[in-house]
Structure 1
Amino acid sequence: MGVTSEAMIPAVRGTILAVDDEPDILVALEDLLEDEYRVLTTSRPAEALELIAAEPDIDVILSDQRMPGLTGDALLARAREISDAQAILLTGYADISAVVSALNRGGITGYVTKPWDPSLLRNAVRSAYERHRLARELATERALLRGLLDHSSDAIAFKDGQGRFLRLNARMAERLGAPSVEACLGRSEADFLRSDLAADVAAADRAAIESGAPTETTMTEGASEAAQTWRQVTRVPIRDAAGAVVHLAVIARDITEQRQLELRLRQADKMQALGTLAGGVAHDFNNLLTAILGSLELALPKVAGDARLTRLMTNAAQAAQRGAALTKRLLTFSHRRDLQARVVDLNAVIRGMDDLLGRSLGGFVQVEHDLRDDLWPVKVDPDQLELAILNLCINGRDAMPEGGVVVLSTRNETVRGSQGRNPQGQNPQGPNPQGASPKGRALPDANLRDPNLKDGDYAVIAIRDTGTGIPPEILGRVFEPFFTTKGVGQGTGLGLAMVFGLVQQSGGTIRIDSTVGHGTTVLLYLPRSREPVEAVPTAPAAPTPAPRRARILVVDDDPQVRHVTASFLNGFGYDEVAVASGEAALERLDAERFDLVVADLAMPGMSGLDLAEAVRRRWPALPFLLVTGHAEAARIPAEFTVLEKPFPSADLAARVAALLGPAG
């Protein structure tokens, strides 16, 4: 026995195993085949099986039939169990029964009688080798296709020219609502889809086949806009050897998340544009309010003897002040800013929102209060808290299309044993010791966004509506940024995310109790503050008198605001000069001496900030007061003093007096 191989022939040319108990036969086979193949030889069937197990790349097995210990047909039958190699039986006898046995047991592809015709044997081996190579390539392609079908996240199918499924994966069957892949074979999509969708699919299939080129279409499914899904369907025609389109590959990709994100991003862009627009509108509106409020304040002393006129002008001033508060809230809504936290009375914040909520919720929604008198103070940004409450109340209004009641309530609550609770809500201890909502139902801890809420005292705000409630499958996603069930253009999906961010930054948490058909309660937990409530700064009853005579340069492009500001300063006892632009202001400063400059921030050409920096470079000791109707329109350095429009005369007097300092 000998095992030989031709070292100079690359293995990629194929490997042949020759098995014969006569060494001369093995030498002859090796001489005949070694020019084309790597040839392994052995005279013992047992060793042949060892070689087959050790050499998985054997392509063809040539075996003699009559060998001691193991006949050729038996050897090839055992080889079939461990190898996919093609088999050729060599026999020196016209033993048809052995050939039949080899065909049945060993899976031989042919047999050659001894003595063989060299050309015939070479052709038989070459044919067997080609069959084995093609079979392996086909098996590889099938494995790749099966792997693609089984593990792709896309729904994939192959159809014949009539649209019937030849192959498909489980995702395609699931998309069609079929019980299994097998249930789809030989059938078309029309057997599973609605008639209108089936017609669209059939038309798209025909168009792809007729064009002979890959096509892409987008399909929209879903009964409601909130449940809408999008799929991008790619159709690839497959041609036969003659170039005719005989099959169609269909790949359906779920692009719902991508499309929703695109829609949300477009909505976010709209909101950003709205914020920019709001800033410009607020600046102009605050200029108007400054002129209105200032004029009313200047005129009120002149009608002091007329009670009716005084009352009318006071009413007008109060309405203008409400407009100023609305403008401030608009800017807070449109522009992000750092929290300006202070210790507040939550009850006072809620009561102060009565007018805002009344205008925002409309006449079909009734707002009720249930506020605890001994409520603990908390440290929070009151403007952001008002915005959060407004968002939650608007959500409640939207859940009550036929009208209803929104109840704002407050209470104190002490949290104990909250550390280390299960964030998935499995047997946790909720933050409410009684485990009940204001409606008496248990609050599901799975909705507690912060499972590590620290032990301690909390003031709780509850916003309860009598609306439609939130389904459980949506409840777990309501805090996700950009998630919304409202139609495109009706909501950004940022409201609850903003509320969650506010309470989290304030050291608290938020939870929701909702039952479909019975309404929703949102609870805001805010840590108790041990500090006293900070008094809201109030303007002095009367303007601060001028500490000394001074010349003040007023710069504002709005003539009405410029007149009001100059009139205020003149009434305080200052000498004022008013100009309409930053360039004009620099000309006056070059020619005259001034003790203070009061300039509007937003002006065409040279802005107030540009003017302030120019003044600081050329006259560093000259005080400067920036007045603005939109404080977030530009980054104002901390060293500059700022006064926000609209302002009462007392605020202006106080700022001017502080900048000028005492006489001497």
Structure 2
Amino acid sequence: MAWFFVAEQRQSLDNELRNMATAIAATVQRELDTQIQLLSVIADSPRFDLPISRASFAETARRLRERIPRWEQIRVSDEDGNVVLAFPPKEAAASRDVDLESHERVLRSGNSVIGNVVVGARGQTAFAIRVPIRRENNLRAVLSAVNRPAMVTDLIHTTGLPETWSAWIVDGEGRLVVTTAATDLSGKGDKEFARVLGDGTASLATGGDLRIAEAPLAETPWRVIVGIPVGQYDRLAQKAWMLVIAGSAVTVVLSGAAAFLLQREVSVRNRERESIANWQRMDALGKLTGQAAHDFNNLLMVFQSGIEGVKRRRGDEQRVTQLLNHMSDGVSRGKAITQRLLSFSRRSNRGAVHVELDVKLLDLRPLLRQALNDAVVLDIEIPDDLWPVHVDDSGLEIALINLLTNAREAMENGGRVTISARNVPEGADEDRSLRGAFVAITVTDSGQGVDTSNLLRIFEPFFSTKGDGRPGLGLTQVHTFAQAAGGAVKVTSLIGHGSAFTLLLPKSNAPQIPRASDRLTSQLPKTILIVDDTAASLDSVRLSLEGLIATIYTASGGKDALAILEQRSDIEAVLSDIMMPEMSGIDLAEELGKQYPQIRVVLMTGYSDKLEAGLKIARPVLVKPFKIEDLAAALAAEQSKATFSDNVVRLDTTCPKI
């Protein structure tokens, strides 16, 4: 195979040599034909009717030389070879052509010819392009243009001849026209430059051998010869040895390829399993959606009954209060169902936020309870001084549900699950890869435990000890969540006594959100501007705040809100919806931060695609529906943030860098 490769490469190089010789021959022939055609047109013009006027000839010849500067001289010769007219004029009044052979060929054939290279009286070489001057079918004279061989050299270089290659042109008498290697050999015998051998090679007179190819000019007895150094030509044989060496490394390459193919096969199988897992997840999501639709219909029934009851019993304060309580509970249940749907479908991924764990875990208790069965007891032990964390709250919810589901499956006959939490100061944890302070959430069960051999693989994708064929991605999701949050997850287990999974989550450096109290009016502003493009939502928020806030302004959009702020200087806070036409609530908050930095801004939304895509907002965001306590806490957080920023000395970013 190596020698076959070399033979193919040499054949390709031989073809390239022939193509280059043919290209040079075609280029030179094309230029010569162009000059012949131009001379023929001039010879047939009335200016060259005999007798030819010297002034007319001189003017025509001058214009021809301006068009083709390579022409050394333009001549008119009679039938005997005497030069009767010349431009530029010769020193002698009359002389004879040096190349009489080509002159006689024109007379014999009556056609245009290219003369051979001749050496003039001054030792300069040249060749002539000759065309006949006919009148009344009789040849009366010959029109010639004398060219220097340098013109041909320029044409060779335009064909892209490689620098290491050689090329030369030989005329019909075996004399050199031009060479690319030497400029002083023009007009001499071709053997003074190179001796062509019969095996496709040539030997240079200066030493060295060439691999050559020849190509004749189409209408001229000239030949073009192109050569490449034999050493460069034979260098292809070295590639054969390189192929042998490469062949010796095939075994190693095949081993690597086998490993790659094995890894790819494993990846394909993993993707197939992941597709099955996604299908199972979508099936579960469909069932969950059906259950959510059932629950929402029940909630709508609660509201419908409550509205009808309030209409009929407006004077029965006890009954109205009872109905309103049922409707308030329905709002909380509906909000919880919406959050569950978004969390399960992984659409509610807003990135890391400030999470108060003591409040979060108490709010999640009903949802966490549903992840267990009736035979499992759930205990939640949270200290009062627990730090807040900086995590994705939806991801935290899914991680806890996965841990509880894993605990439930480890206790077939029931048992106890305990969720506890503690603060981990910086440096207190033995894991050197973690930096900073953390909060440890531990989920402990009284199940059968995990075997030591499986303990190191428990977080691997698709690893499962279940016998039902399920993929076992729950703990993998927990591990992924912990890593993405900048923390870790650890597990300890004892066969027959249960397992303990510990989530280490980074502590939040944001100020703690004040807890809502009975004195809401102390945390609510005296004047507030509510912005919402939905009239019903705008009126509902305004009615809920009447009696708690002294002055309430409303606006149907961001531009209206800015117009009101220009007229009212007493507005202390702005509560704006996010999804609005023209100017969103996020854009409004940015504009208010520039123009009115002293005003507290809180955003509200039922759903925002930007937030779901992970956009981080510096302002508090309330999810509709929300309570007055939630609004008071958000405004208090904004107030504490503003107080903190007032004590910070800001750098002047406009100063030039040193």
TM-score bracket for the superposition, by shorter chain length? 0.3 to 0.5
TM score, norm. by length of structure 2 = 0.40
TM score, norm. by length of structure 1 = 0.40
Larger Rg: 2
